[in-house]
Structure 1
Amino acid sequence: MEALTKAEEKIMQILWDLKRGVVRDIIEKMPDPKPPYNTVSSLIRILEKKEFVGYKAYGKTHEYFPKISKMAYRKFTFTNFLTNYFEGSPENVLSFMVKEKKLSQDDIQKIVEMLNKDTANDNPPANAN
């Protein structure tokens, strides 16, 4: 998998929401000013070559659909982000967010609760027989 350009990612975000659609459906979901039909069509063909998008042909009309899930791309993007900017360390990400005041005390408490819950699920209590 490879990283998408901003324009390609915008198209994918729309396709992930739509599930399926023709070029006009995609353009309709884009903010004003809407890009030209040919621009969106060209981006779709690039996404097709990158194997992010598939299609079903109905005569001359093509209905496009995502071949890569949003979650799969999210994981790929986050892994790259973590590796390239934080030496692969989630601790470095959290430290950065705390230092930049992007996490409130409430956010930190929710993270601790989430971690405690996940740890409890990983280590269920032993049965007392």
Structure 2
Amino acid sequence: MEELTKTEEKIMQIIWNLDKCLVRDIIDQLPDDPKPPYNTISSVVRLLEGKGFLDYKAYGKTYEYFPKITKEEYKQFTFKKVFANYFDNSAESLLSFMVKKENLSKEEIENLRKIIDNN
């Protein structure tokens, strides 16, 4: 699996939310104003298809796209990269970072303790 660019990931987030869609459905979901041109989004969608993230059903000249890779699969892939590259595969390093840098509330820290204790 390849890592997505920011633009590709933005488009995939929309497709995961829609489950199946046409290019115009993606454009409708984009918060950008003005909306990007149809051909631009169509090109990104074709790149995602080429990378194995999407498949499609053709209805004449209209293509309905749907994800081949689930959001959960991509989340796991990206987390493994971040975990390895930035935390040296150390859960202790990751949790320490979260507690110190993310300003977790006492309730969130307590919930983490419960999760750890139950596993």
TM-score (norm 1): 0.87
Q: Could you give the per-residue CA deviations for residues 60-87 of structure 1, whole angstroms, max 9, x where no partner exists?
A: 0000000000000000000000011111
Segments of 5+ residues of structure 2 without an aligned counterpart are none
Deviation per residue, 1:6-52 (Å, 9 max, x gap)? 00001100000000000000100110212111110000000000000
State the match for 2:38 in structure 1. Answer: 37
Deviation >2 Å, runs of 4+: none
Q: For residue 61 of structure 1, what is the aligned residue in structure 2? A: 62
Give the number of the structure with larger relative contact order, counting CA–CA contacts within 8 Å between residues 6 or more apart.
2
Gaps of 5+ in 1: 120-129
Aligned position for 2:7? 7
Q: Which amino acid aligns with 2:25?
A: D
Q: Secondary structure at the match of 2:12?
A: helix
Equivalent position of 1:18 in the other structure: 18
TM-score (norm 2): 0.94
Q: Equivalents in 2 of 1:112, 1:98: separation in Å?
A: 12
Percent identity, aligned pairs only, is 56
- How many aligned residue pairs are there? 118
